[in-house]
Amino acid sequence: MKRVAILIALSLTACATKREPVIRTVVQEVRVPVSVPCGPDIGPEPTYAASPEAIQSAPDIFRLTVLILAELQQRKARDEVKTAAIEACRSPRPG
């Protein structure tokens, strides 16, 4: 009976001892996508060939046609630059 009482007392004292918790600091890198405003620099608006002054000074219909066609090409090129800048903003960037 003494042995049983000693075993019970020892087992209770074993349960009563508390260990302090070990605090560990772990640094982790968490990548979170953040939206960034995209403001592409496409430069100032160019001076187009068919300005009102150029149209007024065109001597004949043929020169006027050349001016208008040149402006059309300039506007198409400018539109391509703008479209490329917008597409670059829309495409995902490598992280």
Express each pLDDT in 30-67 by its tens digit.
998 877 788 888 889 889 999 999 999 999 999 999 99
- State how many domains the chain has: 1
Model-level pTM? 0.56
Domain assignment present for residue 26? The answer is: no
Residue 54 lies in a domain: yes
Distance of CA 20 to the CA centre of its chain: 46
Helical H segments across the chain, by residue range: 2-16, 52-56, 61-90
**Cα 12 from Cα 15, distance rounded (Å):** 5
Q: Which domain holds residue 95?
A: 49-95
Tell me if 2 is assigned to some domain: no
Q: Specify whether the CB–CB gap between 48 and 69 falls below 8 A.
A: no
Q: Is residue 74 part of a domain?
A: yes
Inform me whether the pLDDT recorded for 95 exceeds 60.
Answer: no
**Residue 33 in domain:** no
